[in-house]
Amino acid sequence: MAGQRRKRTFIRRALTARGRSLEITRAGWLFILLTLAVGFAAINSGSNLLHAVFGAQMALIIGSGILSEAMVRRTVAHRRPAGDIYAGEAAVVRVELQNLDPRADVLSVSVEDDDRIDGAGACAPVFTVRIPGGAQVELPTTVIMPARGRHALPRAVVATRFPFGLFVKRRELPVEAPVLVYPAIATSAAAEGDDPHAELGEAPRRRARVGEFFALREYREGDDLRRIHWPAAARLGRPFVREHVAEGDREVILDLAPGRSGDPQFEEAVSRCAGAAIATLGGGSTAVGLRYGGVLRVPPGSGTEQRRRLLEALATVGEVPR
């Protein structure tokens, strides 16, 4: 099996040019052998009937190549994440396929990973029977990215076996823009603070929306516009919001020790820190911040925007490879 896979890969590389690759299917090999046999028989026997059959078989092979090229040339495809992507977990991806030719349909095309390229992640293939002329279809699929950070989705190709299933014609697609992959969310005891890489520090009072006035701070995306302190904003030329003290609430700072991306112990610490952040924010009354290497990377806050800020920071801490 491994030898056959290497053979097919070699043949595909030999039949690759200008962003196109051609793979001969098992049915295609059988048909080619049959065509060669008919051709030799026609030459040796001089039979006009065999010559006609041989010509028809050659026309079918040539027509198959022309029709399959038309299908992949008319099709444009894009993969776009439909939500957050976490390392090692299946995430939903929308595959948008568009037929560039308004006069003719596209038949029997798929979008799949380019198996000639060793890249990070794997995306499940999608298939559609028909794309009307000038129309666009959207298909759901899933992708698994193995590591956190900013990565491009797996290289993709548009492929078709149309019309006879003798060959698989593929056209390379442009590289998609990089996506941010959040760290895996560990559901360990890190939320209780027993991880040496992720420690929880508490303060008995925290800033809140109501209660005794605490301080002014600069406006952050997601803050309530009703809390803006307009006199300070007019005086300093940038928006500030009021913060108040709420008794009984907590302020938690997650402390993550420096490390190198890819190191198993550091990656586990990042995952447990992310799990602690999500679990603590889930309480609703606790502000969570992140300190990395003794530097406050994310000021304490709460809500969905704070969750996003924490995960984005954790996705890129360390020396994340590009």
Are 269 and 198 spatial neighbours (Cβ–Cβ below 8 Å)?
yes
Q: Are residue 165 and residue 197 in the same domain, yes or no?
A: no
Q: Is 228 exposed, middle or buried (0-12, 13-18, 19+ CB in 10 A)?
A: middle
* pLDDT (average), residues 242-268: 78
Residue 199 has what pLDDT? 44
Q: Is residue 183 part of a domain?
A: no
Number of domains in the chain: 2
For the segment 33-86, what is each residue's pLDDT rounded down to a tens digit? Answer: 999 999 999 998 888 999 999 999 999 999 999 999 999 999 999 999 999 999
Q: Are residue 207 and residue 144 in the same domain, yes or no?
A: no
Q: Is residue 184 part of a domain?
A: no
pLDDT confidence band for 314 (50 / 70 / 90): very high
Q: Which of 177, 206, 221 is the last residue of a domain?
A: 177
For the segment 88-109, what is each residue's pLDDT rounded down to a tens digit? Answer: 999 999 999 999 999 999 999 9
* pLDDT (average), residues 306-313: 92
For the segment 160-198, what is each residue's pLDDT rounded down to a tens digit? Answer: 999 999 999 999 998 888 999 999 998 754 344 444 344
Residue 114: give the domain boundaries. Answer: 1-177
For the segment 49-64, what is each residue's pLDDT rounded down to a tens digit? Answer: 999 999 999 999 999 9
Q: Are residue 130 and residue 216 in the same domain, yes or no?
A: no
Q: Are residue 156 and residue 16 in the same domain, yes or no?
A: yes
Q: Are residue 173 and residue 194 in the same domain, yes or no?
A: no
For residue 94, what is the domain's CATH number?
2.60.40.10
DSSP for 134-174, written as a single string: T-EEEEEEEEE-SS-EEEPPPPEEEEE-TTTSSEEEEEE-P
* Residue 90 vs residues 69, 70, 93, 184: alpha-carbon distances, Å: 32, 33, 9, 11
Q: Which of 142, 177, 212 is the last residue of a domain?
A: 177
The answer, yes or no, to whether residue 126 has pLDDT greater than 80, is yes
Q: Is 292 exposed, middle or buried (0-12, 13-18, 19+ CB in 10 A)?
A: buried
Q: Are residue 154 and residue 250 in the same domain, yes or no?
A: no
Tell me the average pLDDT of the chain: 82
Q: Are residue 171 and residue 204 in the same domain, yes or no?
A: no
Residue 14 has what pLDDT? 60
Q: Are residue 269 and residue 163 in the same domain, yes or no?
A: no
For the segment 267-283, what is each residue's pLDDT rounded down to a tens digit? Answer: 999 999 999 888 888 76
The Cα angle at residue 52 between residues 32 and 42, in degrees rounded to 5: 70
Q: Is residue 322 part of a domain?
A: no
pLDDT confidence band for 1 (50 / 70 / 90): very low
Q: Are residue 233 and residue 284 in the same domain, yes or no?
A: yes
Sign of the CA dihedral running 205, 206, 211, 212: positive
Q: Which of 136, 151, 177 is the last residue of a domain?
A: 177
Residue 95 has what pLDDT? 96
Please give the Cα distance from 153 to 112 (Å, whole number). 12
Residue 285 has what pLDDT? 66
Residue with tokens 């954790």: 314
Sign of the CA dihedral running 79, 82, 86, 88: negative
The answer, yes or no, to whether residue 244 has pLDDT greater than 90, is no
φ and ψ at 291, to 5 degrees?
-120, 125
